[in-house]
């Protein structure tokens, strides 16, 4: 055997080639999985290369959850399609679903212009329209996420939608060829699309992601972050941004709703930040607002139409009627005696980190304020009974006992703010915040001035320290 | 098979009827629409002229996300058709990794006709016939015509 080289015949080679061509790896698992904690990724890489270990260890603090996609050669396409619908659900605006159908339909001329007849691609599209309608209905019933997951785990539905998005990508690239031709290493845009975008089971690559983001995500104001987990040096996973940016039209929602993918060579999964997971309540349609106007003021009041309500909520200081409707189970009653209360069964409401400025009280409802208490020994029982805001106390006297984050009641309708700290912000900073106010910095209460942190300036008398005559008195007082 | 796929096959059939390549006839059974019988005359400008071939096109349950499967029920001496009881033809747009869901069946029919006129020896399923086609065209033509007489009359 070792002496003579084995030369396979043509027939055998052809056979092998045939086998390798027909080989399909065994793929298991749901097409799109349930959302789970991203610590599972860290665990998966616990014994891997140190670069992976460091990068995945840092992952859960920023991206709390992830969702697997089946690696059947379409995972990137499926991940983007799924998160596109999921982000629409997160916006919670039923009108958006119809708007999206109208917008996408208006791009049909692009698909027709690259030579596909409508009767061929409308089959793929219809599945997309059906899903948009189903989701819009499901939002009212509160089970949209479930409906989406079920639909995407139906091979037919998900393949129709993927095929439609591929056609859209292909059509977009071929009608905007100047934007892409320089990235194709000499290939024409047409041949690139024919070989890389159009065939079934051809995975999306960077150029495809860029084109799909332009066609599908950017016009509706969605951004797409792809995290590349690879062996490149660094302590964090590299992120590449696609889709809408900060600089795009201001009419788009802000901050940009963001789809997030985790790329590991050859495979895409879906990532979430904690802030992405909020349960969006349907925006209640507005009852006409009645305002007692000054006498003689005759302008007819024009009630807001319901599609405006979400815009109104974004205007600082303005809030639609039915204050608190979006926090249906948030208890408002002020409890003067801090007694432990049973944890109310509320829908999970996201944890809002404090804005860097003081929390402005909303004057229309009574509520508790975060009282900065210079000690960790505050009564936490009361404060932790409601879903809450994580607050670091602004000052603390104890260097040895960093107080745990205070949880204060989120009794009032604080609006989500673009200035919020990212969830997980505190996880990296468990140490006590230094004294930050300029007044306190110079105060003699600031223990940073003293070599001995246990030194208590108010108990110290310089006379006692330096006067030999009263030395004994000082000693007795300190014992 | 989903309702969408059935609708698609019906539509494909309509399109084939409207734009049938010459020398072809489709036997379409509405009760079993995933299996088409094609009767095809050998193209006049090929070695297969005068022959009548029976083909089958099977639509897999994942259609249109998997390609239709083409097989020759009549034996044919051709580098791109397997010389066994399957008589399968699998190249170009019919290959699973090159198949595009919007591809039309009528273009599959055209591909079959083109291949009878011009075999593709570089992408052959029968390497020995391909070799003969490339190096000994006379012998190939003789064999092909011989098989037409024996099997395709």
The ipTM, to two decimals, is 0.85
Residues of A known to be catalytic: 72, 75, 267
The residue-averaged pLDDT of B64-92 equals 92
Q: What pLDDT does A69 receive?
A: 93
The residue-averaged pLDDT of A413-441 equals 59
Q: Is A146's pLDDT higher than 60?
A: yes
The residue-averaged pLDDT of A357-372 equals 46
What share of chain B has pLDDT > 90, as a percent?
Answer: 76
Beta bridge partners, B52, equal B41
A277-286, A366-375, B91-100: least confidently modelled range: A366-375
Q: Whose CA is closest to A454, among A398, A394, A375?
A: A398
Q: What pLDDT does B27 receive?
A: 92
- Any CB–CB contact under 8 A between B1 and chain A? no
Better pLDDT: B2 or A365: B2
Nearest CA in chain B to A22: B96
Extended strands (E) in chain B = 24-27, 35-41, 52-58, 69-72, 88-89
The pLDDT tens digits of the residues spanning B27-63 come to 998 889 999 999 999 999 999 999 999 999 999 998 9
Q: What pLDDT does A28 receive?
A: 77
Nearest CA in chain B to A201: B97
Q: What pLDDT does A287 receive?
A: 54
A149-163, A216-230, A313-327, B14-28: least confidently modelled range: A313-327
State the DSSP H helix or E strand holding residue A16, giving kind and residue range, or none if neither: helix A10-22
The residue-averaged pLDDT of A249-272 equals 84
- Please, which pLDDT band fits residue A479 given cuts at 50, 70 and 90? very low
CA B41, B47, B49 angle in degrees (round to 5)? 30
- Please, which pLDDT band fits residue A13 given cuts at 50, 70 and 90? confident
Q: What pLDDT does B7 receive?
A: 87
Which residue in this structure is represented by tokens 């019919």? B94
Q: How far apart are CA A223 and CA A270, in angstroms?
A: 14
Better pLDDT: A118 or B36: B36
Better pLDDT: B108 or A286: B108
Domains of chain B: 3-151 (3.10.110.10)
Q: How far is B98 from chain A (nearest CA, A)?
A: 5
Closest in A123, A163, A201 to B97, CB measured? A201
Q: What pLDDT does B146 receive?
A: 94
b/e B105-116 (16+ beta carbons within 10 angstroms → b) = bbebbebbbebb
Q: What pLDDT does A21 receive?
A: 67
State the maximum Cα–Cα separation within chain B, in Å, rounded to a whole number.
Answer: 50
Q: What pLDDT does A460 receive?
A: 74
What share of chain A has pLDDT > 90, as a percent?
Answer: 34
- Please, which pLDDT band fits residue A299 given cuts at 50, 70 and 90? low
Domains of chain A: 28-277 (1.20.1300.20), 438-472 (no CATH)
Peptide bond into A255 cis (omega under 30): yes
CA A299, A304, A310 angle in degrees (round to 5)? 145
Average pLDDT score, chain A: 74
The pLDDT tens digits of the residues spanning A300-332 come to 555 555 455 555 556 555 544 444 444 444 444
Q: Is A231's pLDDT higher than 80?
A: yes
Q: How far apart are CA B101 and CA B63, in angstroms?
A: 8
Residues of A in contact with B95 (CB under 8 A): 21
Nearest CA in chain A to B6: A123
- Any CB–CB contact under 8 A between B124 and chain A? yes
- Please, which pLDDT band fits residue A232 given cuts at 50, 70 and 90? confident
Better pLDDT: A285 or B128: B128
Q: What pLDDT does A413 receive?
A: 65
For the ranges A80-84, A241-245, A273-277, A462-466, the maximum mean pLDDT occurs at A80-84
Q: What pLDDT does A393 receive?
A: 47
The pLDDT tens digits of the residues spanning A185-194 come to 889 999 999 9
- Any CB–CB contact under 8 A between B49 and chain A? no
CA distances from A356 to A62, A145, A394 (A): 19, 33, 11
Q: How far is B96 from chain A (nearest CA, A)?
A: 8
Q: What pLDDT does A265 receive?
A: 86
A31-40, A124-133, A281-290: least confidently modelled range: A281-290
Burial class (CB in 10 A: 0-12, 13-18, 19+), B17: exposed
- Any CB–CB contact under 8 A between B6 and chain A? no
Q: What pLDDT does A478 receive?
A: 44
**Contact between B100 and A116 using a beta-carbon 8 Å cutoff:** no
Q: Is A125's pLDDT higher than 70?
A: yes
Q: What pLDDT does A295 receive?
A: 56
Provide the token pair at A263: 């790329």
A1-15, A75-89, B17-31: least confidently modelled range: A1-15
- Asked if A352 contacts A386 with a C-beta cutoff of 8 angstroms, the reply is no
Q: Is A151's pLDDT higher than 90?
A: yes
- Any CB–CB contact under 8 A between B62 and chain A? yes
- Any CB–CB contact under 8 A between B137 and chain A? no
- Please, which pLDDT band fits residue A361 given cuts at 50, 70 and 90? very low
Q: Is A471's pLDDT higher than 80?
A: no
- A contact set with B (CB within 8 A): 10-11, 13-14, 18, 21-22, 116, 119-121, 123-124, 126-127, 155-156, 159-160, 163, 167, 198-202
- Any CB–CB contact under 8 A between B105 and chain A? no
**Contact between B102 and A10 using a beta-carbon 8 Å cutoff:** no
């Amino acid at each position: 055997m070792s002496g003579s080289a084995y030369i396979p015949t043509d027939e055998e080679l052809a056979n092998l080639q045939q086998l390798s061509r027909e080989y399909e790896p065994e793929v298991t698992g749901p097409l799109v999985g349930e959302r789970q904690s991203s610590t599972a990724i860290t665990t998966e890489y616990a014994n891997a290369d140190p670069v992976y270990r460091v990068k995945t260890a840092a992952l859960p603090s920023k991206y709390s959850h992830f969702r697997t996609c089946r690696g059947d050669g379409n995972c990137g396409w499926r991940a983007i399609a799924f998160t596109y619908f999921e982000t629409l659900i997160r916006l919670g605006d039923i009108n958006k679903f119809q708007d999206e159908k109208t917008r996408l339909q208006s791009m049909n001329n692009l698909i027709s212009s690259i030579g596909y007849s409508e009767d061929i691609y409308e089959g793929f599209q219809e599945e997309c329209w059906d899903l948009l309608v189903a989701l819009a209905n499901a939002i009212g019933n509160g089970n949209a996420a479930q409906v989406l997951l079920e639909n995407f785990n139906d091979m037919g539905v998900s393949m129709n939608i993927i095929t439609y998005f591929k056609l859209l990508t292909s059509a977009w690239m071929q009608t905007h060829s100047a934007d892409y031709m320089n990235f194709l290493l000499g290939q024409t845009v047409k041949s690139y699309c024919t070989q890389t975008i159009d065939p079934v089971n051809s995975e999306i690559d960077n150029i495809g992601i860029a084109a799909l983001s332009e066609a599908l995500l950017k016009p509706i104001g969605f951004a797409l972050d792809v995290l590349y987990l690879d062996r490149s040096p660094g302590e964090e996973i590299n992120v590449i941004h696609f889709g809408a940016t900060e600089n795009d039209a201001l009419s788009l929602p802000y901050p940009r709703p963001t789809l997030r993918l985790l790329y590991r060579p050859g495979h895409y999964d879906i990532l979430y930040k904690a802030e992405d997971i909020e349960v969006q309540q349907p925006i209640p349609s507005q009852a006409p607002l009645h305002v007692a106007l000054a006498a003689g003021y005759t302008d007819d009041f024009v009630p807001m139409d319901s599609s405006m309500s979400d815009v109104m909520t974004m205007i600082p200081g303005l809030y639609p009627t039915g204050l608190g409707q979006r926090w249906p189970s948030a208890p408002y009653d002020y409890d003067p005696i801090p007694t432990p209360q049973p944890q109310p069964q509320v829908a999970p409401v996201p944890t809002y980190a404090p804005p860097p400025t003081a929390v402005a009280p909303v004057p229309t409802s009574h509520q508790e304020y975060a009282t900065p208490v210079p000690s960790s020994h505050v009564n936490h029982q009361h404060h932790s009974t409601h879903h809450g805001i994580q607050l670091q106390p602004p000052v603390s006297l104890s260097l040895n006992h960093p107080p745990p984050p205070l949880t204060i009641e989120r009794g009032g309708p604080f609006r989500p703010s673009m200035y919020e700290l990212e969830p997980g912000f505190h996880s990296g900073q468990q140490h006590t915040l230094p004294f930050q106010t300029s007044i306190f910095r110079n105060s003699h209460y600031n223990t940073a001035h003293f070599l001995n942190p246990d030194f208590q300036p108010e108990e110290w008398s310089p006379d006692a320290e330096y006067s030999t005559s009263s030395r004994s008195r000082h000693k007795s007082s300190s014992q | 098979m989903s309702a969408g796929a059935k609708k698609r096959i019906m539509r494909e059939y309509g399109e084939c009827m409207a734009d049938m390549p010459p020398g072809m006839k489709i036997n379409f059974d509405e009760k079993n629409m995933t299996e088409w019988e094609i009767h095809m005359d050998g193209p006049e400008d090929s070695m297969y002229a005068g022959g009548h071939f029976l083909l089958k096109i099977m639509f897999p349950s994942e259609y249109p996300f998997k390609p239709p499967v083409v097989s020759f029920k009549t034996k044919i001496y051709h580098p791109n058709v397997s010389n066994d009881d399957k008589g399968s033809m699998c190249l170009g747009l019919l290959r699973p990794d090159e198949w595009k869901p919007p591809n039309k069946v009528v273009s599959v029919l055209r591909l079959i006709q083109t291949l009878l006129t011009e075999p593709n020896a570089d992408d052959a399923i029968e390497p020995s016939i391909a070799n003969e086609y490339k190096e000994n065209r006379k012998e190939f033509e003789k064999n092909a015509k011989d098989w037409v007489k024996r099997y395709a009359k």
